[in-house]
Structure 1
Amino acid sequence: MEDMSEAEQAMVFEWTRTAVDEAVVAGLIVPPWRPTAGQHEMLYGYYISGLTPAEAAQAAFGIRH
């Protein structure tokens, strides 16, 4: 992620923030939630894979079968 422009970093930050908001609304996490470095990387992976923030929230925080 270090090789991204400031604009790209801002876009990823906003997308990640929206994904976390989606997780809160869905009751998957409870604020205050602080992501680890690994969780940041996981969410970034969902971003570059093309998931929507809502899909990423379910993938990252939803019930796993």
Structure 2
Amino acid sequence: MSSVSATAQTPEPRELSIIYNRADRVFRRIVTTGALTSLILLGLIGMFLFVRSAQIFNDRGLEAATG
């Protein structure tokens, strides 16, 4: 039989420091650039659709949506 000591001390928490290497920094920049590009593209598509729909609603009123 083995016995485990009930008074075992817990280790002190280590201090974590995050240091990104060159490959990590390049990857993060590429991913961030792609994310921002997609958000800008979606925003431009939304603006285009809003402007086009505003013109149609000005011409035809709510019947353009309801039939």
Q: Give the TM interval when normalised to the shorter protein.
A: 0.3 to 0.5
Find the structure with the greater CA-based Rg: 2
The normalised TM-score by structure 2 is 0.37
The answer to which structure, 1 or 2, has the higher relative contact order (CA under 8 A, 6+ apart) is: 1
The normalised TM-score by structure 1 is 0.38
